Chain A
Amino acid sequence: MSLVKKTRGVGDGGLAANLGRRLVLIVPYAWLILFFAIPFLIVVKISISVQRDGRPPYEPVFELADGFIGAWESVQKFSMESYAAIYADRIYGDAYISSVWIAALATLCTLLIGYPLALAMARAPRRWRSLLIVLAVAPFWTSFLIRIYAWIVILKDEGLLNHALISTGLISEPIHIYATQGAVLIGIVYSYLPFMILPLYNALEKQDTALVEAALDLGATPFAAFRQITWPLSMRGVIAGCLLVFIPAVGEYVIPDLLGSDEVLMIGRSLWDEFSTARNWPGAAAVATVLLVLLLVPIVAYQRSHLQTHGAAR
């Protein structure tokens, strides 16, 4: 009797759990559809329409209200003009390349600075670790804009850095950093460093320290142990950190706008110029769409490598 009851209980629980699991799965998908897929489709739609004077500043295409025939008519009105313009005008290509280059350089710098920090945090005595994490994200407690303005004060020709260097006699003329690519790089590295440190810390903290000891015991020098054990085992953290820095850095607008100059081409600024100054919504939408496609490549590559390591693990 009790056995029957028990079995039924398990069955009920299983069904409820199953339903619950499905509901839980729906939430992220719903979120993605509502806040990513639909807005993105709207952006794509705008990118294939034609600019005009008015409100909104583009010819409407493909309105749901048009019905099937209207839809067919509007498909014929699809315009690849904006994409053609991006392809034809060198400035866009240069901005994309320059953005990717600056973002890649910034990612490399955050990795080089963040890795030793994350490693030191992960190997610090346990009671210190939470404090160190708080310190790593402490800059977030002040406004992002204020921190970038602070960098202007530091990097300007008559700023704190040059002042300090001149007064110590290291240099006689101020170094021109502000409004260069270097300043943009410094701003991005500074702002995104915590996004590199946290996933690295997470990966390194989970590593069994006995692994490095075993490597040393078997004759590996500390560097060899790092190269063969610590580094490959932290690869997931490295990839996650690099994506978290690289992807937003490519589209970064505020930092190049405040710390750079017109000479520092970044696609985020091109997009903004197109959107606000030129009032070319289809052009801006096309720039954004191309950027997203460009960024999808590393994400898909990461997903695949992720799947591969997982597949091999099983």
Chain B
Amino acid sequence: MPIPLIQLAGVSKQYGDVRAVDDVTLELEPGEFFALLGPSGCGKTSLMRLVAGFETPDAGRVLIDGRDMQGVPPYRRPVNMMFQSYALFPHMSVERNIAFGLVQQGMAKGYIATRVAEMLRLVKLEGYGARRPEQLSGGQKQRVALARALAPRPKLLLLDEPLAALDRKLREETQFELMQVQRDLGIAFMLVTHDQDEAMAMAQRIALMRSGRIEQIGDARAIYERPASLFAAEFVGEINLFEGEVVQSGEGKFAIVQGGGRIALADDTPLPGPVRIAVRPERMVMSHLRAGSYAEFAGVIADMVWLGDLTVWRVRLSDGRLIRISRSNADAANAAFSRGDQVFVGFEAQSARMLLS
């Protein structure tokens, strides 16, 4: 069995009274695109700095390639970081910035020149080698930072909010470029971001963090479709929440949805008791007539937004709650629903996720 590239075992880090990282255990495979996702202050940056070696854990161990990194300074770790501010050396040309890591390793001049040219080609900045960082646009700086971090062939690249400083259009382009580079080089990437779209678009696996702890680890689909907690359900994507209770009867397990009837559940649903029932907007069903076959609520369409590829409606239920429904505009029936319509919204059992917390 191959050794994981990165192993974090029970890692904790405390700043004053704040547990920035709290007993985190996770593994990264070589060549994996991994994302640490969470709101600001959740500890994702601290965790990344622990891997880079800028911080030392108060408890637990950080292993890179099976080697314990206890006492190993950042300049002896086979990981490189792309800083959020890019941290390009302002007194050096683009070339010298990219060559910096190679110069520190004592590489031969000829090799450095070849490698720098290769990196400039990789980030599509041929001809920019002699420029100073301040002569570059934000997107170009970002690519120089990427080239500089990749030049010494790290085993893992840490990316700290790499797209935060870019405008929307550039951000999307860069997303694809980063994924392309990652696939081509086969280097493991660890992306730190607060942007769920960014994490979901790029990463093969996501660790969702909250107050220093890992809330859930999985691929984007797993976290989206099967959130492990209320926090995960709300942080990633849009969600509708209903109160309910799981009950066991002779016919099997059911969820009684408050004010909306009951739905049959699979037998492996956890213990009976009160639950939050989470349903994604695109999993909601909406019609002008009562269907009766699933959990259902009467309401009025409060507003609708046409987004090109899909339409989003918000339906106000009789108790005042707003429910969000989205449907692809490929569905011609969408035209029938407009503001003020009396509708029935609901969900089927397989669309719902029972959450305990």
Contact = CB atoms under 8 A, between A and B. Distances in A.
12 contacts: A210-B85, A215-B100, A216-B73, A216-B74, A217-B80, A218-B75, A218-B80, A219-B101, A220-B100, A220-B104, A228-B100, A233-B90
A239 to B, nearest CB: 14
Nearest to B79: A217
Nearest to B104: A219
Contacts of A210: 83, 85, 87
B101 A233 contact: no
Nearest to A225: B75
Contacts of B101: 218-219
Contacts of A305: none
Interface residues of A, number: 20
Instruction: Report the contact-size class of chain B (Cβ under 8 Å from the partner).
Output: 20 to 34
A214 interface: yes
A211 interface: yes
A228 B96 CA distance: 11
| Interface residues of chain A: helix, strand, loop or mixed (majority) | helix
A208 interface: yes
Contacts, number: 61
Contacts of A218: 75, 80, 100-101, 104, 148-149, 152
Contacts of B74: 213, 216-217
A221 to B, nearest CB: 6
Interface of A: 208, 210-211, 213-222, 224, 228-229, 232-233, 312-313
Contacts of A216: 54, 73-75
B188 to A, nearest CB: 16
A25 to B, nearest CB: 27
B242 interface: no
Contacts of A233: 90-91
B134 to A, nearest CB: 7
A232 B101 CA distance: 18
A229 B89 contact: yes
Of B54, B81, B152, most A-chain CB atoms within 10 Å:
B81
B132 interface: yes
Q: Give 10 nearest A-B pairs by CB, closest first.
A: A218-B101, A219-B104, A214-B87, A210-B87, A216-B74, A220-B104, A217-B81, A219-B75, A216-B75, A210-B83
Contact of B89 (A211, A217, A312, A313): A211
A221 B104 CA distance: 8
A224 B152 CA distance: 17
Contacts of A221: 75
Nearest to B96: A228
